[in-house]
Amino acid sequence: MVELVVDIALQRGSFELQASFTVAAGLVALCGPSGSGKSSMLTALAGLVRPDTGRIALGDALLFDAERGVHLPPQQRRIGYVFQNYALFPHLNVRENIAFGIARGDGSARRARVEDLLALMQLSELAGRYPAELSGGQQQRVALARALAPDPRLLLLDEPFSALDGDLRRHLGRELRRLQRQLDLPVLLVTHSRAEALQLADTAIVLSAGRVAALGAPAEVLGCLPGALGSAGFSW
Amino acid sequence: MVDALRLSFVVAGLATVLVGVLGTALGYALAKLRFPGRGFVDALVTLPLVLPPTVVGYYLLALLGRGGWDLLFTPQAAVIAAAIMALPIMVRTARAAIEGVDPVYEQAAYTLGKSPVATFVLVTLPLAWRGLLAGLVLSFARALGEFGATLMVAGNIPGRTQTMPLAIYEATQSGDDALARTLVAVLTLGAFTVLVVVNRLNRGRPW
């Protein structure tokens, strides 16, 4: 199994993220209250933000190493990113959004890849629609398909279910779980919700005030630490 | 009069093309990049907005008169004068339009493997196009009405550098009221149309 090794420090104003962990990738939930550094962690992993010091490695690939001056730009990391509000390109339809990240060149291979993803995410009938014409759940599926299109080696999801309501949330959670196993793709999921982490994750990382407070099986990590996390905004 | 009209549109059109490219690039740099001297560049390109046009014309006179370019009192000089006077408007609208695009779309494009240039062309530009187009239309209007700086560097040669505002001035001075009134009506109508178009562009979103 691919290992994600993170040991970074990052200062932004008065906020300091200083996190070190190693996880065997499967479906990893990154939990913690608002302002605990979950989003900073994702942007650092994706290469959108450069940590001040430290090292990030994914399997054999060294993504960031301050000492050796390595900082792969986001374009070269092959990390899929599903943003909190999906950030679908509003001027492109579903098909164009999904095709966006697939290299041009072989036209027929590109088209086939887009059709596969449309089918996989049950979006074929919506291919011509624009993001504004989609429901929250549909947008989320498009965002997933778009992130998967360039064949990433790690998928990051920033609170992908927060814009959705209860039933849909659970349904799409199960879908994600199934997809992750089917594609055998490491997934790191940021969530506010303890229930979500318990339902979906193989491993949970709990961040608190920019530091790793706990790491382990979700049931252990999230089950026996009530109140220990300064749980503002964390729905137990 | 037809000469002045045609020349005005050619000069303003060319100036708008220049300003569109340069102003968008500067607007992007000021919106996105943090570089030393950023405040200085910002102030410098805004200067023509607050200086009397004759002062800008004086600088251009000094600049274009040197180095053997031999551009003074040519239509090219009129284009440059109009472009410099319209540049602040284009830079400001382009900057606002580019800043109005949520950076998350650009970040998404980066994670999907697109270079900054490809991201600008495929994402930023299409999402900012209304603002940029409004900037172009306003720049065109500003270039069309340019008087002071043009007079300084291009002079007032009928059929060669005499644009509409200069023709209006001359017609008034020589008592040709009918010509002055026609030209004034044309420019007013043109400016009014421009404002209506810009207002429409600023309303709503393109998608």
- What are B119-148's pLDDT values in tens digits? 999 999 999 998 999 999 999 999 999 999
Q: Which chain B residue lies closest to A147 (C-alpha atoms)?
A: B112
In this prediction, what percent of chain A has a pLDDT beyond 90?
Answer: 56
* Cα separation, A49 vs A29, whole angstroms: 21
* Cα separation, B106 vs B161, whole angstroms: 44
Res. B117: pLDDT tops 90:
yes
Banded pLDDT at A33 (limits 50, 70, 90): confident
The first and second tokens of residue B86, run together, are 């319209």
pLDDT of residue B142: 93
Q: How many CB pairs under 8 A join A and B?
A: 61
* Cα separation, B100 vs A166, whole angstroms: 33
Res. A228: pLDDT tops 50:
no
ipTM: 0.89
With CB atoms and an 8 Å threshold, state whether B111 touches A130.
no
Q: Residue A148 corresponds to which amino acid?
A: L
Res. A166: pLDDT tops 80:
no
Banded pLDDT at B204 (limits 50, 70, 90): low
* Chain A residues close to B205, C-beta within 8 Å: 90
Q: Pick A166 or B157 by higher pLDDT.
A: B157
Q: Which chain A residue lies closest to B102 (C-alpha atoms)?
A: A87
Q: Can you give chain B as a three-state secondary structure string?
A: CHHHHHHHHHHHHHHHHHHHHHHHHHHHHHHHCCCCCHHHHHHHHHHHHHCCHHHHHHHHHHHHHCCCCCCCCCHHHHHHHHHHHHHHHHHHHHHHHHHCCCHHHHHHHHHCCCCHHHHHHHHHHHHHHHHHHHHHHHHHHHHHCCCHHHHHHHCCCCCCCCCHHHHHHHHHHCCCHHHHHHHHHHHHHHHHHHHHHHHHHHCCCCC
Interface test with A, best of B32, B111, B121 (most A CBs within 10 A): B111
In this prediction, what percent of chain B has a pLDDT beyond 70?
Answer: 97
With CB atoms and an 8 Å threshold, state whether B108 touches A91.
no
With CB atoms and an 8 Å threshold, state whether A87 touches B105.
yes
Distance from the A44 Cα atom to the nearest Cα atom in chain B, whole angstroms = 12
State pLDDT tens for residues B86-95.
999 999 999 9
Res. A231: pLDDT tops 50:
no
State pLDDT tens for residues B19-56.
999 999 999 999 999 899 999 999 999 999 999 999 99
Pairing mode of beta strands A3-12, A15-24: antiparallel
Tell me yes or no: is domain B2-203 CATH 3.40.50.2300. Answer: no
Per-residue pLDDT averaged across B168-174, rounded? 93
With CB atoms and an 8 Å threshold, state whether A81 touches B126.
no
Distance from the B196 Cα atom to the nearest Cα atom in chain A, whole angstroms = 25
* Cα separation, A42 vs A211, whole angstroms: 14
Of residues B112, B114, B207, nearest to A90 (C-beta) = B207
Banded pLDDT at B205 (limits 50, 70, 90): low
With CB atoms and an 8 Å threshold, state whether B205 touches A90.
yes
With CB atoms and an 8 Å threshold, state whether B114 touches A101.
yes
Q: Do residues B135 and B93 touch, judged by C-beta distance below 8 A?
A: yes
> Smallest Cα–Cα separation from A192: which of A231, A141, A223?
A231
Other CB atoms within 10 A of residue A119 CB: 11
pTM of the model: 0.85
Which residue(s) pair with A55 in the sheet? A7, A65
Site of tokens 């408007």: B89
